[in-house]
Structure 1
Amino acid sequence: MTLKGGLGPPLLPDNLAEKPAEGLAATIYYGRPGTPMPPWKQFMSENEADWIVQKLMTAFPE
């Protein structure tokens, strides 16, 4: 809820700035095997995963 991490790293713009948007979207869409990050592809499109990354990288919500 605060985007400051829990089971994973913080999802704040400063933490994401050095990461490629395509990789972040792929992590959302396909998950990360062996970690708590599940794949979300059954619930959203790749375009929706891209949208989430764009919002996270711009401090949404403010």
Structure 2
Amino acid sequence: MHGIVAPNLDRLARELVVQEAALAQCWKHGGRAFMADQGEILPDDQAIAEVTSLLVPGSTRR
């Protein structure tokens, strides 16, 4: 996987938990995430890192 491109996070997934899980899996496999309305979503975004560390087994905070 090279990454994810979506118009915005809501189009990636409607539920926050699913958004976070999709981003965590993307980053876990070395991918990057880009949203047309925000640009690149970085894995070190503190809010995302906290949620994904709780929801996705094997994810780590950066």
Instruction: Give TM-score scaled by structure 2 length.
Output: 0.31
If each structure's strand is expressed as a fraction of its own residues, which one has the higher value?
A: 2
Instruction: Give TM-score scaled by structure 1 length.
Output: 0.31
Larger Rg computed on CA atoms: 1
